Every structure is written in C-alpha cells, then in structure tokens.
Structure 1
Amino acid sequence: MRTGKDLELVHLTKRYGDTLAVKDINHVFRNGTYVCLLGPSGCGKSTTLRMIAGHESATEGEIVLDGQDITVLPPAKRGTAMMFQSYALFPHLSVRDNVAFSLRMKGVEKIARHRAADEMLALVDMTHLAERLPAQLSGGQQQRVALARALVTKPRVLLLDEPLSALDPFLRIRVRGELKRLQRELGISFIHVTHSQDEALALADEIVVMNNAVIEQAGSARDVFGAPKTEFVARFIGGHNIMDLDGGRFALRADEVRLTDDGRPATVSQVEYQGDRVAVTAKLGSAEVLALVPEGAFFADPKTPGDAVGLAWDEGRLYRLMA
C-alpha cells in the first residue's frame, strides 16, 4: 500500500547520448523498507540510485518523495543522503569532524553539530574512535563513519551504492546485519545497490531486479527467489534450473530436485561438497540439471561422476517463465 511518505519513480529515463542507461522505470519504494536494487554491471541500478540522489539528472520522468517532486532539486534539498562505495572520508579531519562536516556546511554551530555527530557515532558503535583520523581506522570502521556521516542529516531515504564491496567476506556478513538493524531502528527507507544475490536475499524487504536498463521483476526476497518470472531473473538470482518441458520454458529450484532410483534417467557429471549440502549436476538428455542434496541424504547413498541416477521433482514446483 502506497503512503504519502513513499518514494516514487515515474517514467524515469536516463540517456547518455545514444546510450539508454535507464528506460522508462515506474516503481514505488514503500516508506520504511529495505530495498535492494540487484543486477549485473551496466544494468542501470547505480544510475537509478544517482538520479534519486540528484548526482545525475533525469532525461525524462519524475522522482517524487513524500508527495513532492524532487527531480530538479539539488542533492542537499531532497531529503535523501548517499553513502558512496569509496567512503570518501576527509583524511585530515577526525572521525567526529568527518561525520559533522555536512552540518558545518549548513552553518550549524560547533557544539550542536558535534552533539549530532556523537549521536550518530553512538548509533554505529564508533564513539571510542571519535578523535582518530581515517588512516587510523580499518575498512569496516571507515564504513561505519561513512554511514554515520550519511545519517547525520536525518534523511528520509538513505541511498547505498555497493556499500559492502570493499569489505572482506567475514566482515561483510557482520556489517550487513548492522545495516539491517539500523534500518529497523531508524524506520527510514534504505535503497541499496548490489550485484550480490546473497546480499540482497539477506537484507531486502523488497528486491528490484534490473537488466538492460529496465526492471525485470520486483517483490519480496522470497517471491523473487521462489517464483522468478523471467529466464534472466531465474539465472541471475541463482539456485534454479531452466528447463524446456512440453513446449514451455520453466524454472525449477535446485533444492526441489531429488535423486531417486526410478526418476528420469540421467548421468552424474559433477559433484561439489558445500558443507550442509552437496551440489550434484547430472546430464538429462542434452540439458544439465543441478540438484542440491542435503549432506546426510547424499552420503547415505553417495554418487560420483559417471554414475547413473534418477531425477525427480514435484510438477507443482515448476514455474513457467515469461517469454
């Protein structure tokens, strides 16, 4: 349900000369939700984010926030804040002064802006490092400072451009949990650009999958993963088989495929142990089918490449793909 505080894109288009980067997008980002714009490089997701932020002009269309057309407003007057992938911290300023910088530019006096900065540093658990310079911080700590700096202006929408890409895998998992916690505590909208399917599935209330300058599918993480509408979404979100059956094209989740003695005859071509499950790829006619088998079930009857197997699934778990 749309509310007055939602962010809405209306026929939003961006061209660079003859190149169409974003094509006639219409979408409503509901207030207070965590949304991930997901897609491959060059799909238009970062350009869309920059247009919302005001760092790119829209060629056509409108951007409406809280009932106000903000399409031509400068970034500082939009009610949005953007956290950049590079963090872009000032090396000569302390952590506290980095966070307070935008308030300084607005003419907020020192005591008030430092009070506001300290509130944000407490929110991201960085109070104890307020006097340090950016060079004295780890990558994860710099990320928190950049997040506090974006939040200090009390935006209605926080925009995050690949915010976790510079972090190591262990820290990335921890920080994405912190992002989700902050979004819930603040109650504002987060719009987060990523090309990581795992990141989007872990964080998003809504996933917006983009490809070739348009939105291919939008919905809850469970809906997008469980019921992809197009072949691109099924392949990009991962964990699906694309199958031609009875003259139609279908998606079938790999964890819905069972290894049996009496299923469709196939030959194992690859086995990959993944901890709690084993990925078994089998040749079925001219197609390769992936089955994700629970570890216990697999090792009760292990398979190796070249073994004959039967493949089975419930027909009701097939999802017909749009052309």
Structure 2
Amino acid sequence: MSKKLDLEFVNLTKRYGDAVAVDGISHHFGSGTYACLLGPSGCGKSSTLRMIAGHETVSDGSILLSGRDISHLPPAKRGTAMMFQNYALFPHLNVLHNVAFSLRMRGVDADERKARAAEMLELVDMQPLSDRLPAQLSGGQQQRAALARALITKPDVLLLDEPLSALDPFLRVKMRVELRKLQRELGITFIHVTHGQDEALALADEIVVMNDAKIEQAGKTRAVFDAPKTAFVARFLGSHNVVSMPEGTLAIRSDALQVKAKDAAKLPGTITSIEYQGTHVALTAAIPGEQEVTALLSDKDFFENPKDVGEAIGLDWEAGAAHALAG
C-alpha cells in the first residue's frame, strides 16, 4: 500500500516583526490533490507557500506531511520541491545540467544524473532541447525545464509560485492544460499560488481563498464557486454580484441575472456599460444604494433584444440563484 501523503497546516503563522503575514491558518490537503492558494497581493499566499518549502521560517504552528512535522527541516529534507515564479534557471548551464543540478548537489554520480535528467525532460517534452541554454528557450520551454528540475528529486509535494504569470495569454492557457495533465500522471500533490481566478478554477480540485492573512473560504473548487460564503469571496471569484437587500446581503450569480422590463423585476437598474465578450455580453447596471451588478447574457439573447447604455431596465433572478452571505 502506498503511503498517504496528506499535507496539513496547524495554526500556521508567519510574522515579520509586528506585521502578521499569515495568521494562524489551519487546513488539510488530501494526498494527490491539485490545490490553488488564491487571493489578492499581500494576502499571505506566497508566504504560506514559502513556509511549506522551507524558504521562510514558521513563526508559530506547524506544517505536517504524512503526519510528520516538517516545519523546521531544511528544504532538501522535507519531501517538497518548489518551482519559482521566474523559473530561476542557471544561465550558464544547458537544460540537461540545469535539471540535474540538485542531484549533483546531493552527490549522485554523473551517469545517473544524466539518465534521470533525460527521463524528466522526456516527461515534459523537452529532451530535444537538452543542449540549449536558458536564453535560447521560449518562456514556455523555460517553464518546462524548471518543472523538470523541480520534479527530478521525486517530491511528495510540488509547490508552484505563480508559474504562469510570465507567459502570454495563449501560452498560459496551453500550459494550464499541461500542468493538469502532468499532475494527474504523477499523482502527487500540487500546491499552486495564483491571484488569477480563471487559472485556479481551470486547474484546481480545491481552492483556498485567502484574505488579510487568513483563510476566507476553502473547499472543492465548484462548491466554493457556486456558494461563496462571504462578500469578499463572491466578489473576488467574480462569479456573483453582492447586493444589499432589505432581507440582508445576497450573492447572486452573474449568469443567472435576467434583464426584464423595469416594472416586472425585483430590482430597477440603469445600464452603465455593455461589453461584448464573444460567447456572451457583460451588461453592468447601477441599482439602488449606489451599487452595481453585472449580468452575463448569451450573445444570442442580448442581440435578439439589444440594450443601450443609459437605458432603464429591471433585474430578476430565480430563487435558487441567490443565497445569503455571512459578511
């Protein structure tokens, strides 16, 4: 039976002087999970990732891997590997030697280093480019080389710090597919830091939404997307509008908002912008209370009954498309 490689935070805290970057978070990641730590800049997600890797010290609490406290072990003893945002490839070494570098530091003999590096490069479709220097590679090729270098130590957990941020939008989508495929093939846990909602939704089995050094909400990706618990999560994921009604604060799915005649709907509104987005149209309207909401309409529905900026409309929704928020 293969060992269970669960990762767990127990009251994990990181302080820089008087500033608290990560504030007593606890969470359990199942073995073989693709998880995204998601949140705005400064929320604590990168500090959390670096504590797992051993590149930042833990101020309080602990990090457990397979039930073993790895909080104060050196990076090479943890069973983790990290792929950095800038890939951190050595410019004077070719791809093969970059990938093999950590094995060299561990005293592995040259023939075995070369064989294992070639195996990793084949895994990421980079073997034909093994003799090239990093400067001779495209951004996507550099990323694959960095992935191979991180994986060569056979980690239990791979840590990825905004790995797609340096790529152009087309390549970013392509590499998302490749990352997910690789994680499934390897069957190991990936912990991926991003501030991109689309990236997290496309990749992750589960997401951990962080805000102001704490976990705001965590769970299976679809469950969090469908039912954000707080106004922050609803707004940050971009899936819901947050509306203050007499009965309380509601989250209403953007794709469930219906545009109707002004007097035949729950809310009156005035259109403030219309943005064509290909398969759908984002229609934003001002509503009472100095609030704005956005309805995502199919392009077919919108162009069959087009609207103009400044037009008065009504906004409605089915009961199941809205739920009360905690705050």
Shared topology, TM-score over 0.5? yes
Structure 1 residue runs of 4 or more that deviate by more than 6 Å after TM superposition: none
1:267 offset after TM fit, Å?
2.1
1:319 offset after TM fit, Å?
1.6
Residue 207 of structure 1: aligned partner: 207
1:5 offset after TM fit, Å?
1.7
Residue 273 of structure 2: aligned partner: 270
1:86 offset after TM fit, Å?
1.1
Answer yes or no: is 1:283 the counterpart of 2:286.
yes
Answer yes or no: is 1:312 the counterpart of 2:316.
yes
Q: State percent identity of aligned pairs.
A: 64
Q: Secondary structure at 1:316's aligned position in 2?
A: helix
Separation in structure 2 between the aligned mates of residue 289 and residue 14 of structure 1, nearest angstrom:
37
| CA distances 1:148-197 after superposition (whole Å, capped 9, x unpaired) | 00000000000000101111111010011100000000000000000000
1:206 offset after TM fit, Å?
0.4
Aligned AA for 2:302?
A: F
Aligned AA for 2:322?
A: L
Residue 51 of structure 2: aligned partner: 51
Separation in structure 2 between the aligned mates of residue 260 and residue 186 of structure 1, nearest angstrom:
50
What is the 5 A alignment of 1:28-39? 28-39=28-39
1:289 offset after TM fit, Å?
2.0
8 Å CA contact retained: 1:34, 1:189: yes
What is the 5 A alignment of 1:107-256? 107-256=107-256
Provide the aligned length of Structure 1 versus Structure 2.
Answer: 321
Separation in structure 1 between the aligned mates of residue 288 and residue 246 of structure 2, nearest angstrom:
14
| CA distances 1:78-125 after superposition (whole Å, capped 9, x unpaired) | 000000011111111110010000001111111111110011100100
8 Å CA contact retained: 1:4, 1:67: no
8 Å CA contact retained: 1:53, 1:81: yes
Aligned AA for 1:36?
A: C
Give ranges in structure 2 of 5+ residues lacking alignment. Answer: none
Aligned AA for 2:8?
A: E
Q: Secondary structure at 1:228's aligned position in 2?
A: coil
8 Å CA contact retained: 1:161, 1:192: yes
What is the 5 A alignment of 1:19-34? 19-34=19-34
Separation in structure 1 between the aligned mates of residue 162 and residue 285 of structure 2, nearest angstrom:
35
Separation in structure 2 between the aligned mates of residue 111 and residue 92 of structure 1, nearest angstrom:
21
CA RMSD of aligned residues (A): 1.1
What is the 5 A alignment of 1:7-18? 7-18=7-18
Task: Tell me whether 284-293 or 213-222 shows the greater mean CA deviation.
Answer: 284-293
1:284 offset after TM fit, Å?
2.4
What TM-score do the two structures reach when normalised by structure 2?
0.96
What TM-score do the two structures reach when normalised by structure 1?
0.97
| CA distances 1:283-313 after superposition (whole Å, capped 9, x unpaired) | 2223322111100010001000122222110
